[in-house]
């Protein structure tokens, strides 16, 4: 189908205020492609950007980065294969690694192959302002890692690729330094605690079960989110509204080897105080992965003595590279018949209801809210 001359996109106009506006559709350069957004997920980061608690933001801006779409227009010079060498054509569903903000030439991009840590992000040419997912069209420039979605993967599952990629990378961080005979690094049969029961917490439960972790503790709330974590395979649930930090510590230690605590903890709640809980819940010599703060949520006092005494490994996790997206869609495709990824999507909205969708996520009334677009 030919592109519409105009398209609709959500715009953040001020603190907690969004609207949907009409924009002119860009011409597709022969080096690029334009995709029609099929579904877009509401991320906790989106909520924190619309309702910031620290610092100031410049308005207006657009947002949305979790999405699955269909190739609507394929430039004549854009590759006809995805990142795995599979043929792509107009009409195919895709997910992408958003390469258009990384420079591709700095130390992190070129030498370490870590574009998510690019030190001077910039694209070599000006691009249309069509790079947000809460919009009918998404502009994808040359050099972007594109992944065709396998036919058997429903769009309601494929839309989880981006958060699953971030989760997968955070999960992988716990495996370092990986010296099994010294009890270092994560692995099969190791115990884990997940601090946060939202989308990322649920995805960590899935990864834990697929990897043979046991027991799996989840600290969070409200009850509907904890119930889903249980359904997905969590062993012990700890409701933050019904337990104190000391009670949670006692329960975790009581249910782990020699009452030492878990082998790995993952902070994905986006609450600074949860980081302190993570330090205390991990056994001495264990690992703590911090993935819950992709926006600034403020500061908390930390006693360095606790970190030294615990002798723990602490890993930050900031984004991921294109190879992680490829692995994420592969894991999803290999397991979507047996793992109920779709259970995470509890609420559906149309683009015109973006404000309600954001408020629903902010109030934790959903696990994952998704914006549905027409997909003939």
Same domain, 192 and 52: no
DSSP 285-313: EEEEEE-S-SS--------HHHHHHHT-E
Q: What is the pLDDT of residues 226-251, one digit of tens each?
A: 999 999 999 999 999 999 999 999 99
Q: What is the pLDDT of residue 180?
A: 66
- Asked if residue 335 belongs to a domain, the reply is no
Same domain, 297 and 351: no
Same domain, 95 and 18: yes
List Cβ<8 Å contacts ≥24 apart for 149-152. Answer: 149/68, 149/92, 149/93, 149/94, 149/95, 149/329, 150/329, 150/333, 152/333, 152/336, 152/337
Same domain, 55 and 99: yes
Q: What one-character DSSP code corresponds to residue 87?
A: B
Same domain, 155 and 172: no
Q: What is the pLDDT of residues 195-225, one digit of tens each?
A: 999 999 999 999 999 999 999 999 999 999 9
Same domain, 175 and 299: yes
Q: What is the pLDDT of residue 43?
A: 95
- Asked if residue 332 belongs to a domain, the reply is no
- Asked if residue 88 belongs to a domain, the reply is yes
Contact 296, 271 (CB under 8 A): no
Q: What is the pLDDT of residue 181?
A: 67
Task: For residues 46 and 64, give the distance between their C-alpha atoms in angstroms, rounded to a whole number.
Answer: 7
Ranking 57-71, 89-103, 207-221, 242-256 by mean pLDDT, the lowest is 89-103
Any residues with CB less than 8 A from the CB of 199 and at least 6 apart, and which? 41, 43, 44, 160, 163, 344, 367, 368
Q: What is the CATH number of the domain that holds 356?
A: 3.90.180.10
Same domain, 56 and 155: yes
- Asked if residue 264 belongs to a domain, the reply is yes
**Residue 198: closest CA among 156, 228, 159:** 228
- Asked if residue 346 belongs to a domain, the reply is yes
Same domain, 37 and 139: yes
- Asked if residue 302 belongs to a domain, the reply is yes
Average pLDDT over residues 304-321: 93
- Asked if residue 226 belongs to a domain, the reply is yes
Average pLDDT over residues 345-356: 98
Same domain, 25 and 89: yes
Q: What is the pLDDT of residue 167?
A: 97
End-to-end, the C-alpha distance of the chain in Å comes to: 10
Higher model confidence: residue 102 or residue 39?
39
DSSP 204-244: HHHHHHHTT--SEEEEE--HHHHHHHHHHT-SEEEETTT--
Does the pLDDT value for residue 349 go beyond 90? yes
Tokens of 174: 């716990």
Q: What is the pLDDT of residue 108?
A: 92
Residue % of the chain over a pLDDT of 90: 83
Contact 281, 249 (CB under 8 A): yes
Q: What is the CATH number of the domain that holds 200?
A: 3.40.50.720
**Residue 161: closest CA among 12, 346, 14, 325:** 325
* Cβ burial, residue 363 (10 Å; 0-12/13-18/19+): exposed
Q: What is the pLDDT of residues 119-162, one digit of tens each?
A: 888 777 888 999 999 999 999 999 899 999 999 999 999 999 99
Same domain, 246 and 355: no
Helix (H, G, I), strand (E, B) or coil at 69: strand
**Domain interval for residue 46:** 6-159+340-372
Q: What's the whole-number average pLDDT of the chain?
A: 94
Same domain, 87 and 188: no
- Asked if residue 21 belongs to a domain, the reply is yes
The tally of domains found in the chain comes to 2
Q: What is the pLDDT of residues 4-60, one digit of tens each?
A: 999 999 999 999 999 999 999 999 999 999 999 999 999 999 999 999 988 788 999
Does the pLDDT value for residue 300 go beyond 70? yes
Kindly state the helix (H) or strand (E) to which residue 202 belongs, with its residue range.
helix 199-210
Q: What is the pLDDT of residue 1?
A: 67
Same domain, 98 and 182: no
Does the pLDDT value for residue 338 go beyond 80? yes
Does the pLDDT value for residue 99 go beyond 70? no
Does the pLDDT value for residue 309 go beyond 90? yes
Q: Output the CA torsion sign for 226, 230, 231, 233.
A: positive
Residue % of the chain over a pLDDT of 70: 98
Task: For residues 246 and 280, give the distance between their C-alpha atoms in angstroms, rounded to a whole number.
Answer: 10
**Residue 201: closest CA among 186, 215, 188, 220:** 220
């Amino acid at each position: 189908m030919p592109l519409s001359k105009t398209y609709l996109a959500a715009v953040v106009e001020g603190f907690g205020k969004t609207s949907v506006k009409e924009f002119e559709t860009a011409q597709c350069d022969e080096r690029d492609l334009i995709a029609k957004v099929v579904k877009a997920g509401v991320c906790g980061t989106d909520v924190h950007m619309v309702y910031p608690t620290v610092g100031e933001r410049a308005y207006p801006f657009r947002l949305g980065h979790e999405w699955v779409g269909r190739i609507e227009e394929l430039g004549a010079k854009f590759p006809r294969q995805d990142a795995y060498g599979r043929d792509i054509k107009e009409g195919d569903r895709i997910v992408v690694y958003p390469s258009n903000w990384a420079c591709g030439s700095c130390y992190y991009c070129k030498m370490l192959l870590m574009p998510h840590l690019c030190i001077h992000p910039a694209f070599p040419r000006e691009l249309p302002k069509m790079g947000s997912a809460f919009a009918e069209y998404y502009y994808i420039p040359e050099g972007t890692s594109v992944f065709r979605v396998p036919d058997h993967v429903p769009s309601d599952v494929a839309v989880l690729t981006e958060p699953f990629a971030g989760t997968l990378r955070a999960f992988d961080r716990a495996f370092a330094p990986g010296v099994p005979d010294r009890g270092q690094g994560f692995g099969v049969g190791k115990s884990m605690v997940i601090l946060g029961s939202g989308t990322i917490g649920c995805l960590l439960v899935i990864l834990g079960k697929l990897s043979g972790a046991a027991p799996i503790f989840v600290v969070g709330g409200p009850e509907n989110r904890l119930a889903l974590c249980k359904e997905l395979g969590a062993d012990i649930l700890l409701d933050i509204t019904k337990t104190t930090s000391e009670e949670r510590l006692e329960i975790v230690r009581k249910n782990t080897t020699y009452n030492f605590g878990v082998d790995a903890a993952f902070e994905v709640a986006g609450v600074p105080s949860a980081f302190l809980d993570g330090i205390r819940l991990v056994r001495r010599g264990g690992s703590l992965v911090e993935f819950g703060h992709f926006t600034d949520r403020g500061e908390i006092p930390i006693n360095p003595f606790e970190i030294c005494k615990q002798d723990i490994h602490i890993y930050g996790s900031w984004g991921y590279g294109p190879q992680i997206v490829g692995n994420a869609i592969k894991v999803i495709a290999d397991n979507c018949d047996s793992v109920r990824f779709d259970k995470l999507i509890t609420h559906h909205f149309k683009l015109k209801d973006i404000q309600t969708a954001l408020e629903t996520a902010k109030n934790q009334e959903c696990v994952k809210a998704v914006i549905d677009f027409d997909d003939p």
